[in-house]
Amino acid sequence: MKKTIIFLWVLIGVTCIETYAQVSKDVIGSAFYASALRKIGYPIGAIRSSIYGRIYAAFEVDATGKVNNINVIYPLINKKVSHLLGFEAEIVSGLSKTPQLGNVSEGKYILPIAFVYKNIYYGEENYPTNRITEDYFSKEYQFLKEIQITARSDQYRMLRPYSSIPPMSRQIVEY
């Protein structure tokens, strides 16, 4: 009888620990995605230029759970255009402000970010079609699920230099 009670007690304890580990991983993941969505904004330069696209950012989570070594790995854009559009600066700034994730999340990750542009003047919603090539797949990096950030062409209309009418939308891979 005592052995049965001890066995059940251990079984319940192990089950509770496994359930807690699964829940805590999900909570860490959802907290990261929610924070990334809040912290990464659609860059003003890209809105003014009617640019949209899917951008892949690589980063590392160290043993303390801090996000570091953030780089845009695809598409590669020359520095001058990158500075004018602002995608890379917005991603690096936003991901560096995410809360610490905990040592459970230690590793290297690739986060796809879809910048969706709604050009209301031309009546179109532009969802990015560009995808990362096979060259970027690596066993040391884990792919995360994509986050989506949306902007409308009537945002920052007063900042357009010559007209409040936005230009035709273009995908970022055209640069």
* Domain assignment present for 17: no
* Domain assignment present for 3: no
Res 53: pLDDT: 93
* Domain assignment present for 53: yes
* Domain assignment present for 115: yes
Q: How many domains does the chain have?
A: 1
How many whole angstroms separate alpha carbon 71 and alpha carbon 88?
8
Banded pLDDT at 165 (limits 50, 70, 90): confident
Domain encompassing residue 65: 26-174
For the whole model, what pTM was predicted? 0.78
Residue 26 scores a pLDDT above 50: no
Which tens digits make up the pLDDT trace of 118-128? 988 888 888 88
Average pLDDT (143-162) is: 80
Mean pLDDT of the chain: 78
Which tens digits make up the pLDDT trace of 92-127? 999 999 888 877 788 899 999 999 999 888 888 888
* Domain assignment present for 2: no
What percent of the chain lies above the pLDDT cut of 90?
A: 31
* Domain assignment present for 38: yes
Banded pLDDT at 1 (limits 50, 70, 90): low
Average pLDDT (11-24) is: 35
